[in-house]
Structure 1
């Protein structure tokens, strides 16, 4: 979990602190964003592979000799090695791109933008809660999350990562430096 939070913070930092430096070197906003996203893609592949190898070592050693499960998170990263690798990769990309978008919102609209961004996300969650409550479908809502398979959830998170990447790409166009 620590690596995901670390990448979230690195995503914010890459847009708030390193973006002005990149622009001073003559790189355009779009190229900086695409280059950073490409770097994160490579890091996601490497870190996902490292997490997969560590999970394989954990399984081979019987949970480090103590039945511990640090890298094998039950249900979501409990499948074969390739499923673990893809899920780790998608989660790493998701957290970094989410952090990048937060950094871009701050860079473009400052504190008012961040507050509005957080409020908008809360409103979306409240709208989902209101719809589920009004339709009296909490059982179906819970059933969905208890029966969804890990690869399907990984696919949904991958689509969310793509949406976050496109949202950040559209936000950087007018980011103020």
Structure 2
């Protein structure tokens, strides 16, 4: 347990990357959202407040903005700390699961950050200006539980996927992530080819619990894949 905790502390030793950067991304998204919202209201492009609210409640900016950084963070978290951890005598198993624990802490932090911002958004009647950043459909339309679960799973899945590709890079070198991404793209394309005829039925059957289960499954597969590829990984 102690080596695992040491790995977790190693990741927590980079607060600027781990905690400040996600907060800055969220803040930037909120500022841009506010500017766009004020411009749209001023221009009245949707023919009244009803049309405007209907559009802004579909704002997916945060869901699009965060994963890119989080996947990158997952890659660099593995690539930059793995050699140091092994030099200190940490086993590969402890390293992988210690990293997973650090990712859980990061996911909880992002979820808590968005929950606080949702509370402020609702308390100020959408920032006193009908600005919708947290109280949106993809985050649960103001439901705190849905927002927390969505933010946690989105963050955990993103950093775990990044960690998997970081592990592939450590194990196989620079061509590893490219070939892995190509294989995964072919698999996904094949699955889409098979399910396209049933797309309407599948879309109709999608629920939030189902999406959460899929997100959790992807996360667990990424963690398992990281463990498998790093079992024989050497220091680069």
Under a length normalisation based on structure 1, what TM-score does the superposition of the two structures give? Answer: 0.87
Q: Which residue of 2 aligns with 1:26?
A: 89
Q: CA deviation at 1:79?
A: 5.0
Gaps of 5+ in 1: none
Q: Displaced runs of 4+ in structure 1, greater than 3 A?
A: 1-4, 141-144
Tell me, in whole angstroms, the C-alpha distance in 1 between the residues paired with 2:171 and 2:99.
Answer: 18
Aligned residue pair count: 172
Of 118, 124, 139, which residue of structure 2 is paired with 1:55? Answer: 118
Task: Indicate conservation of the 8 Å contact 2:136/2:142, yes or no.
Answer: no
Higher relative contact order, chain-length normalized (CA < 8 Å, sep 6+): 1
Gaps of 5+ in 2: 1-61
Q: Which residue of 1 aligns with 2:103?
A: 40
Q: CA deviation at 1:43?
A: 2.1
Tell me, in whole angstroms, the C-alpha distance in 1 between the residues paired with 2:211 and 2:192.
Answer: 20
Task: Indicate conservation of the 8 Å contact 1:83/1:151, yes or no.
Answer: no
Report the 3-state secondary structure (helix = DSSP H, G, I; strand = E; otherwise coil) of the residue aligned with 2:174: helix
Under a length normalisation based on structure 2, what TM-score does the superposition of the two structures give? Answer: 0.67
**Paired residues for 1:1-177 under 5 Å:** 1=62, 2-78=65-141, 80-133=143-196, 136-144=197-205, 148-177=206-235
Q: CA deviation at 1:15?
A: 1.3
Task: Indicate conservation of the 8 Å contact 2:134/2:142, yes or no.
Answer: no
User: Can you list the C-alpha shifts for 1:85-115, whole angstroms capped at 9, x where unaligned?
Assistant: 1111111100010000010111111132112
Tell me, in whole angstroms, the C-alpha distance in 1 between the residues paired with 2:104 and 2:121.
Answer: 25
Tell me, in whole angstroms, the C-alpha distance in 1 between the residues paired with 2:199 and 2:145.
Answer: 33
Larger radius of gyration: 2
